Structure 1
């Protein structure tokens, strides 16, 4: 019986989530013995055609070519998992969604007529069915390994949907908002980073996107109490997962 095939694809992104997979090092060697890596240009120029048992997709859909390609990937993959903020929420490039993309291209490129781009940056799930979304900018290697082993074992990945606040409490980190009045997105952000920023006295920046129980209307008054006006609050929310947080109601 041949081993299951794994394919890793990149759309519009910085490659950071693919590098997280490569950084697994010893675990990756063990994984290589369990699967056949059929497509992973970050690691090898060798390409085998599909179908693939599992496809990982990094990056958002930002061009007409991306939109066509993601449909081809979906058709070739038995299971499709999106990895990282770009693939799951449009990424930091989704800041274009709140402005005029034509103005951006005129400002940045000497020949904007050469640029073929969409007006918005959208997650893969906006175009095709996705079997699982792994959050993060970049993703967490432990969560990535859990997703890979779960799919190989034919079970659902054990990735909790609680917030960063839970991780702060678990590691005994003093709440930076309560203790110092520091603006923090921890209450509405998906866990996975280990609450790194609050552990060093900084507020959470929302790298892992909205958690499973987001209540932005309750958080906004706290941010205002800590000295953030409407414009500052908007900028605070529009970072790595700008489009995802913007879908939540504002008050």
Structure 2
């Protein structure tokens, strides 16, 4: 597919989804002067946080660069299904987000423990950093986690692709390098799990920085340590964190953050 045809297909797909979206459900008045069904261009632009001119150019297939953030905003505003979302990313020439963890059952008591640890941030994850459960403390720490599609609730994805990840950690590069090293070790530990190669391919397509750190060939292991966090609302918060294995399922781990310091430092 040529670039021109792909841009035109992207515009046509967005237009079809816009016209299929009920304006009343999005808080707009139905009115009597609507010439087309669904949302107007300016209404979708408003919902997605874009200028009307910029969105119009996208829908018209203009030769402009469309960022991942813009595509994510449009997908959220249009409330696209997972297949529709994947199609939108493909038309925009962007790597698809992770497909999400394979369905796994969490012990109800473990999930209850995660919730009762609030306000301490806590979550349960797989060896591939897919989040299976988390409490409000962790959601608040990362910001916007509840609004992310299930497939993007993956710590690798959040660290490397979500802009808040790079802004959150004082030593982002150290966190990122350690995470990539742990990921390499996990691939060796579970060579028959298709989730690992799938996630590796996704990250290599989506992040140049991931590729750069991956090419370093480093290996890391999880160690309890201190995370230095600069939160946009709460300020500087340092946490010690610990990883606990589930006795009934070695591929599920509980991570708990313990606040140790809070200052007004930038």
Q: TM-score, normalised by structure 1?
A: 0.32
TM-score with structure 2 length normalisation?
Answer: 0.31
The structure number with the bigger radius of gyration is: 2
**Higher share of residues assigned helix:** 2
